Amino acid sequence: MRVATWNINGLRARLELVLRWLRDRAPDVVGLQELKLTDEKFPAEAFASAGYQASSHGQKAWNGVAILSRKPLEVLQRGLPGQEERGARLLTAVVDELSFTTVYCPNGKTLDHPDFASKLEWFDALARHFAETRDPQRPEILCGDFNVCPAPLDSFTGDAAAGEIFHTDAERERYAALLQWGLIDVFRDRHPESRDFSWWDYRGGAFHRGQGLRIDMVLGTRAVSERVQSIHVDREYRKKLDGLTPSDHAPVIADLA
């Protein structure tokens, strides 16, 4: 089984790119983030023509998440309970006995912005939701854009970024709480010393200069992690391809036995 996560930074602008990627990479289950459209505008027919059943939890102009699957999916949860005012940011479905959750975690903007405190509250709510509704002994995947660099290795600025947004102790503690519950950061588990990124600013040639962050993750319980054969950042789809403008994020792809 091939699973993937991708913040596409606007599905209207990226639909043809996503369809091309689906043809090229043939994932079985995909979590998409930052759709920036409502469910009524979600192009389910285009994905069906590509061989994917799709479910979305959208929002006009902002946020939004979706799951695409080659096999039938059953939606379990649309939205993070108690966090509805912070937008459409969570979707969970079951595919082939695998519980698959995609999330678009709040950005937080700056440390002195009210959204930063909201970001921490959202992470606390996510941890509670998993503790109350999910089972760490079962095959569970939680993937998406976490807007957190878990360690200095995950940022091009390394230790110099400590204390900045995405790099604070408070954010990292929230991320660590998910791991303590029973999730494993599959990429870091397989590549403990690798300095790979999944997001690069559009400005200043950041992608070509290697100035990125690893903020897009595939987390899995032990039942999932033991099945992982490989995981990588699909850097090719962060490049402009045949006139198709990329997202500022690259997909992350994991192959499971």
Give the catalytic positions in this structure: 104, 145
d(CA 99, CA 220): 10
Cβ–Cβ under 8 Å, residues 4 and 254? yes
Q: Residues with Cβ < 8 Å from 193, sequence gap 6 or more?
A: 153
d(CA 50, CA 69): 11
Residue 118's CB: how many other CB atoms inside 10 A?
16
d(CA 59, CA 91): 13
Give 67's strand partners: 31, 55
Burial label for 242, CB within 10 Å (0-12, 13-18, 19+), is: exposed
Cβ–Cβ under 8 Å, residues 200 and 248? yes
